[in-house]
Structure 1
Amino acid sequence: MPFGYIIANVHTTRPEQMAEYRRWSTEAVAAHDGEFIARGGQQQVLEGTAHERTVIIRFPSYAAARAFYDSAEYRKARQAREGAGVFNMICVEGL
């Protein structure tokens, strides 16, 4: 069965506020059986443009990834990060 992935490209403007977001989002990921595959770290743009940070989270299925994003736990995290940066986030099905 294919996994579901949340992929986020992030540019932070308020680091202290983003630290609170990371705390809540980490709890939300764990509550929905997600696993961080990449969370920051070294990156190099090979084509196009990217933000300063890339995050990849794997879930047991595409439906589980969507349920995570729509959950009350993650909604709390999103509210905590409001105005703290720029996010591009997608949900994708994959191997």
Structure 2
Amino acid sequence: MSAYLIIQATVHNWEKFTLYTQAVTPLIKKFGGVYIAMGAPELIEGQSAPKSLVISQWPNSQAAHAFWDSPEYADARKYREGTGEFNIMLIDGLSQTPLE
């Protein structure tokens, strides 16, 4: 079952954060992930939206954790430190449509 890594971000230091994105992008692919959405979300209802939202799809949650817990990602994560505020979530996809 697919899993989705969802990142809500407000980046304050884009110069340093760019180093992070350059380091992470090849790792996403290496560990079996693919970006499926990225950008500033449109707020349709509610009080606020993050400045940026990134969603990546993974073959399963184990693959996402293998990426997240890898030594390669630990090295890349250092570039993200102090660049902004981030909420990072992992959720499993559905095995069937909920109303079936």
In the superposition, the TM-score normalised over structure 2's length comes to 0.86
Greater helix share, structure number:
1
Paired positions, count:
93
1:49 Cα offset (Å): 2.6
Q: What runs of 5+ residues in structure 2 fail to find an aligned partner?
A: 95-100
Whose radius of gyration is greater, 1 or 2? 2
Contact 1:8–1:89 under 8 Å retained in 2: yes
Q: Percent identity?
A: 33
Task: Report the equivalent of 2:11.
Answer: 12
| Map of 1:71 onto structure 2 | 70
Rounded to whole Å, the distance in 1 between the matches of 2:47 and 2:81 is 26
Q: Is the 8 A contact 1:36 1:57 kept in 2?
A: yes
Which segments of 5 or more consecutive residues in structure 1 lack a partner in the other structure? none
Change (3 A) 1:77 1:50: farther
CA RMSD of aligned residues (A): 1.2
How far, CA to CA, are the matches of 2:79 and 2:49 in structure 1? 23
Closer, same or farther: CA 70–48 of 1 in aligned 2, 3 Å: farther
Whether the 8 Å contact between 1:66 and 1:91 is mirrored in structure 2 is no
- Alpha-carbon distance between aligned partners in 1 of 2:29 and 2:18, rounded to the nearest angstrom: 17
Give the Cα separation in 2 of the matches to 1:66 and 1:48. Answer: 31
Q: Secondary structure of the residue that 1:81 maps to in structure 2?
A: coil
TM-score by length of 1: 0.90
